Amino acid sequence: MKSFVVVGLGNFGASAALELTALGCEVLAVDAEEAKVERVAPFIRRVVCGDGTDRTVLEELGVGQVSAGIVSTGGDVTASALTATVLRDCGVALIYVKVISELHARIVRRIGVTETIFPERESARLLVRRAVDRTVLNYVDLGAGLSAQEMAVPDSWVGKTLRELELPRHFGVTVVALRDWLNGTTVTAPDPDKPLTDANALLLAGNERDLSRIAASK
């Protein structure tokens, strides 16, 4: 079982803690505001009202034993940086920090965090992708011009096989997985000779230009 410490229980932090709990992870949630702690206490086993920037507090809670940490202290850049530093000093190997600006991201990256997260930016990108192409279900920016997107199978592809479509040759993209919405299954390395249905969704990875070409071709 993976274990996480989530410091900061605003909307993002609370949602992350609840989702991790739903996935069966062991979660320690910490916030300095009692009201935020009380809001999630009925749903998370270990919730503590405490100062996430205080190394003594976090050491007493045993954060050195967790798999990863998530820092979500809103717009308080100082608290965010201090918390990330404390988690690193306590021996937390993976640290994810919600940031509000490029400056905020640069500051915590210098500390050596694993990843910085711009929730609003990612939400906006997904919204735009879905608005431009209604078949796009999910979108993840992988950096360096690369991305992964989940898209519903276009009508023109229904009944055809992946071998027939030859997506790597025609579009330069890789089919990572296939989801079947009827039975709720997801298959990696799907059968290239099985005809696609209108209940299928494909997870594709490639550069932005090639993925855009698929949208334009439908």
Would you state the pLDDT for residue 165?
Answer: 94
- Domains of the chain, each with CATH number or no CATH: 3-117 (3.40.50.720), 122-217 (3.30.70.1450)
Render the burial of 126-155: b for 16+ CB within 10 Å, e for the rest: beebbeebebbbebebeeeeebbbbbbbbe
Q: What is the CA radius of gyration of the chain?
A: 21
User: Is the Cβ–Cβ distance between 18 and 43 less than 8 Å?
Assistant: yes
- Per residue in 158-178, pLDDT (tens digit) is 999 999 999 999 999 999 999
Q: What is the pLDDT of residue 127?
A: 62
pTM of the complete model: 0.67
48 — pLDDT class (breaks 50, 70, 90):
very high
Q: Are 142 and 201 in contact (CB under 8 A)?
A: no
pLDDT in tens, 116-158: 988 877 766 666 666 666 666 677 777 677 888 888 898 899 9
Neighbours of 38 (CB within 10 A): 13
